């Protein structure tokens, strides 16, 4: 009897410590999505589509806040310093995997300060011409550009559309063209429409409606096949460069040391949303495809992407402008 009583007293004494060791219920207040690029780009599109669905699933508002700059590194550094409590998350693109090879000083450690909680979606990149450009095929653009000073805009140095264009224009096309970085795909497209640049290289979802409305001309997509969102736009491979393929992906990042239970729940909720027919239809209409995977798969994917893009940076000689 005395042993039972002592055991019960021990359990009672340890109960508060066990409770303290458990993470508090999450979420109990609004969650913030810090978007690494300006409005109208792929990260922003996903943040708003996912934020609406995630807010419904969690029972808390998801607030979207754009913090563009330095190819996504401004937002990364900000979120890296945030409390690791699940209330400040980042929506970033594959630029996160590119920037370590592009920038000498990031303001954060990509291997230690942030973690990829979930992959969300991917899309091919798209190269468009502004209304002043009369050439309608990639071959014609390459030929015309050799006789003049051409430039192209992107969402920023270190984004995959930047490296896509560098490799296509300079390595394959032998084209002398100047890169003009902006703080998002929206500003890059606006510059092309205004004639400030002849071309723009962006993730496809940012330009779907502009191409459909005729405000820019879709030159090529970088996927292995044509995009259902813009079926009339040929691939790079169809345009004379077989085997060319490249995509931009979008994911949800959290500060390192965020409790594993929160990361696991976030990953599960995103996976559930990806199975929602309405979410799938909205992704498809914008030119995205779901990109799924658990926490371990997401982290392995990011590691492989960082290795891949470091090689591309080396091969193209691309620099942070």
pLDDT at residue 21 is higher than 80: no
Instruction: State how far the Cα of 236 lies from the Cα of 141, in Å rounded to an integer.
Output: 13
Asked if 98 and 173 sit in the same domain, the reply is no
Look at residue 142 and tell me if it is in a domain: yes
pLDDT-derived band at 24 (thresholds 50, 70, 90) equals low
Asked if 35 and 54 sit in the same domain, the reply is yes
pLDDT at residue 219 is higher than 90: yes
| Count of structural domains, the chain | 2
Asked if 289 and 216 sit in the same domain, the reply is no
Residue range 68-87, pLDDT digits in tens: 998 899 999 999 999 999 99
Look at residue 48 and tell me if it is in a domain: yes
Asked if 128 and 216 sit in the same domain, the reply is yes
The conformational region for residue 223 under phi > 0 = left, psi -120 to 50 = alpha, else beta, is beta
**What per-residue confidence (pLDDT) applies to 19?**
40
Asked if 167 and 103 sit in the same domain, the reply is no
Asked if 195 and 143 sit in the same domain, the reply is yes
Give strand pairing partners of 88: 32
Burial class (CB in 10 A: 0-12, 13-18, 19+), 259: middle
pLDDT at residue 161 is higher than 80: yes
Look at residue 7 and tell me if it is in a domain: no
Residue range 258-280, pLDDT digits in tens: 999 999 999 999 999 999 999 99
Residue range 94-109, pLDDT digits in tens: 999 999 998 888 999 9
pLDDT-derived band at 212 (thresholds 50, 70, 90) equals very high
Could you give the dihedral angle defined by the CA atoms of residues 6, 11, 14 and 18, in that order, rounded to the nearest 10 degrees? 170
Asked if 170 and 159 sit in the same domain, the reply is yes
Which tokens hold the place of 77?
A: 């550094």
Q: How far is CA 215 from the centre of its chain?
A: 24
**What per-residue confidence (pLDDT) applies to 315?**
82
Look at residue 184 and tell me if it is in a domain: yes
Give strand pairing partners of 115: 254
Look at residue 21 and tell me if it is in a domain: no
Asked if 117 and 128 sit in the same domain, the reply is no
**What per-residue confidence (pLDDT) applies to 190?**
97
Mean pLDDT of the chain: 91
pLDDT at residue 22 is higher than 50: no
Instruction: State how far the Cα of 134 lies from the Cα of 147, in Å rounded to an integer.
Output: 14
Asked if 135 and 117 sit in the same domain, the reply is no
Find out whether 207 and 183 touch, Cβ atoms under 8 Å: no
Asked if 98 and 143 sit in the same domain, the reply is no
CATH number (domain holding residue 73) = 3.40.190.150
Look at residue 1 and tell me if it is in a domain: no
The residue among 166, 186, 221 that closes a domain is 221
**What per-residue confidence (pLDDT) applies to 7?**
45
Phi, psi of 4, rounded to the nearest 5 degrees:
-65, -45
pLDDT at residue 10 is higher than 60: no
The residue among 221, 237, 264 that closes a domain is 221
pLDDT at residue 241 is higher than 70: yes
The residue among 171, 204, 221 that closes a domain is 221
Which tokens hold the place of 31?
A: 């969650």
Determine the structural domain holding residue 102 and report its residue range. Answer: 31-123+247-316
Look at residue 24 and tell me if it is in a domain: no
CATH number (domain holding residue 183) = 3.40.190.10
Which tokens hold the place of 200?
A: 């723009």
- Pick the residue with more confidence: 257 or 12? 257
Residue range 189-210, pLDDT digits in tens: 999 999 999 999 999 999 999 9
pLDDT at residue 18 is higher than 60: no
Asked if 92 and 119 sit in the same domain, the reply is yes
Asked if 189 and 111 sit in the same domain, the reply is no
Look at residue 22 and tell me if it is in a domain: no
């Amino acid at each position: 009897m005395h042993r039972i009583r002592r055991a019960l007293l021990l359990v009672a004494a340890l109960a508060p410590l066990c409770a303290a060791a458990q993470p508090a219920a999450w979420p109990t207040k609004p969650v913030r999505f810090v978007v690494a690029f300006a409005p109208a780009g792929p990260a922003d599109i996903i943040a708003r589509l996912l934020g609406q669905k995630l807010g419904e699933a969690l029972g808390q508002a998801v607030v979207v806040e754009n913090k563009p700059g330095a190819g996504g590194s401004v937002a990364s550094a900000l979120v890296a310093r945030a409390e690791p409590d699940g209330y400040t998350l980042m929506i970033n693109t594959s630029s996160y995997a590119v920037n370590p090879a592009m920038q000498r000083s990031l303001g954060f450690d990509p291997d230690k300060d942030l973690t990829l909680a979930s992959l969300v979606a991917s899309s091919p990149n798209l190269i468009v011409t502004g209304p002043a450009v009369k050439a309608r095929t990639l071959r014609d653009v390459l030929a015309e550009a050799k006789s003049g000073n051409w430039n192209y805009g992107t969402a920023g140095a270190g984004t995959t559309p930047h490296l896509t264009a560098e490799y296509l224009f300079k390595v394959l096309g032998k084209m002398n063209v100047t890169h003009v970085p902006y703080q998002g795909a929206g500003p890059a497209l606006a510059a092309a429409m205004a004639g400030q640049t002849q071309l723009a290289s962006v993730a496809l979802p940012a330009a779907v409606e502009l191409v459909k409305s005729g405000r820019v001309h879709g030159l090529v997509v970088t996927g292995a096949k044509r995009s259902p969102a813009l079926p009339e736009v040929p691939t790079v491979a169809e345009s004379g460069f077989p085997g060319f393929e490249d995509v931009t992906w979008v994911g949800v990042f959290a500060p390192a040391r965020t409790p594993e239970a929160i990361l696991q729940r976030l990953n599960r909720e995103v996976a559930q949303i990806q199975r929602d027919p309405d979410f799938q239809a909205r992704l498809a209409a914008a030119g995205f495809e779901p990109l799924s995977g658990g926490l371990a798969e997401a982290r392995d994917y990011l590691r492989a992407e960082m290795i891949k893009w470091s090689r591309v940076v080396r091969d193209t000689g691309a620099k942070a402008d």
